[in-house]
Amino acid sequence: MPTMKLRSVRSAVFSFVLSMGSSMPSVSAVLVSPPSEPIPAEFFGMHFHHLGSTTPWPDVPINQWRLWDAYVAWPNLEPAKGQWRFATLDRYVSLAAEHHVGLLLPLGLSPGWASARPLEKSTYQPGAAAEPRSIEDWRAYVGTVVRRYKGRIQAYEIWNEPNLKQFYSGTVDQMILLTREASRIIREIDPNALIVSPSATQDRGVSWLAEFLLKGGGAFVDVIGFHLYVAPQPPEATFNLVTSVRQTMAQNGSGEKPIWNTEAGWFLPKPFPEELAAAYVLRECIVNWAAGVQRLYWYAWDNHGWVSLETTEHDSRTLTSAGQAYIVAFRWLFGARILSCKSDGQQRWICELDRDGHRQRILWSVAGRTPYRVPLQWHVERRELASGATDSLNSPDIELGPEPMLLS
């Protein structure tokens, strides 16, 4: 099973502007109301394909781990009926416990022997995207996994991107049945585990979620999962997508449930400029929390095929500028409260933070480089860049660009 994703909806070649200039969508006069609580460590999630084998454990502040494209889907765990292979997942669970990292395990993909359409094409092996032929096989799979990892896997997600036929070719009604049965089993065996909805994504993902919730699927989950991919747009486009998801939730009885972005990243054509890559990582983290997303799982630490915004070099060890920016994002955001996040008519963003009673501000420009005068009443003494470099602010006249800067 390749780790490179082959989503047909994303196979087109996107163009993008390195200067972040006028071809980008306008994001003007936007004001959002971020959550009032401090940003927790649990907000920072990641994907790994080969952790513990060719990928070493990274020396970065990762708190949550989603086990997708990690060779622990149903076909990997039960390649033949009743024949279980838990060695890889056992190793992951032990690694997570050793490093105090929470786990989110997506349940799904049908093994060929259990598939309702075993010869049907999918992103993975034939038949994987089809619903299971027998609900009893699904129940046995979910029950076996949850009993084995009770208390050690903290959350389960029902399927991956069910609105894309190459990942799920069944109906919404069939997915609700799978979700209902998985939910019942998980809640009986491990009532402390969280249940995340099937995570839809682009290509009519919001309308798929609307049908899922309208038909009662929200009753069986604790969290609404969604893959908030916005490429080829910049991270700020997330605000509009989250608004659509929230409206759909509110209209269908799930307005109070949290949203988790269980997959995020960029798949624009390579090469992705290093400076812009670092800027996107930082802005993605800031924007998701400001939009009300409670967890963000980056895809993927050691993917060197499908993604264009890579956090590591091909050795899956050496950090790129984007990987360094992930560390900076944690340092800037963890424990802070975002009081406001707004853009002006020139697409300049200002996010005000409170950290232990001290005001900080993160600034950047979506529309290329532009002059900016720092208000004297901010009493700014220090500036930190996305690279982690710091200096004293000796003049109120600065230049903003795509890379966020932190003023303290």
Residues in the chain: 408
First CA to last CA across the chain, in angstroms?
Answer: 47
Q: Is residue 169 within 8 Å of residue 11, measured between CB atoms?
A: no
For residue 257, give the 3-state DSSP assignment: coil
* Buried residues in 136-160 as b, exposed as e (16+ CB within 10 A): ebbbbbbbbbbebbeeebbbbbbbb
The values of phi and psi at residue 331, to 5°, are -65, -40
Positive or negative: CA dihedral 171, 177, 182, 183: positive
pLDDT at 20: 35
pLDDT at 272: 82
For residue 67, give the 3-state DSSP assignment: coil
Q: At which residue do the structure tokens 């096989």 appear?
A: 137
Q: Is residue 375 within 8 Å of residue 359, measured between CB atoms?
A: no
Q: Is residue 181 within 8 Å of residue 136, measured between CB atoms?
A: no
Per DSSP bridges, beta strands 348-355 and 358-365 are antiparallel
Q: For 43-96, what is each residue's pLDDT tens digit?
A: 999 999 999 999 999 999 999 999 999 999 999 999 999 999 999 999 999 999
Q: Is residue 264 within 8 Å of residue 299, measured between CB atoms?
A: yes
> Which candidate, 92, 97, 75, places its Cα nearest to that of 84?
75
> Which candidate, 266, 9, 284, places its Cα nearest to that of 161?
9
What angle, 0 to 180 degrees and rounded to 10, lies between the N-to-C axes of helices 238-251 and 274-290? 30
Strand extents, DSSP E, 252-356: 259-264, 293-298, 337-343, 348-355
Domains of the chain by start residue, with CATH: 40-336 (3.20.20.80)
In one letter, which amino acid is 90? D
For residue 271, give the 3-state DSSP assignment: coil
* Buried residues in 331-347 as b, exposed as e (16+ CB within 10 A): ebbbebbbeebebeeeb
Q: Helix, strand, coil % (nearest 5) of the chain?
A: 30, 25, 50
Per-residue confidence band for 203, with pLDDT thresholds at 50, 70 and 90: confident
Per-residue confidence band for 387, with pLDDT thresholds at 50, 70 and 90: confident
Mean pLDDT value across the chain: 92
Q: For 17-36, what is each residue's pLDDT tens digit?
A: 333 333 334 444 456 789 99
Q: For 172-188, what is each residue's pLDDT tens digit?
A: 999 999 999 999 999 99
The encoded tokens of residue 210 equal 């609307």
Residue 371 CB: number of other CB atoms within 10 A? 10
Q: Is residue 262 within 8 Å of residue 196, measured between CB atoms?
A: yes
Q: For 210-254, what is each residue's pLDDT tens digit?
A: 999 999 999 999 999 999 999 999 999 999 999 999 999 999 999
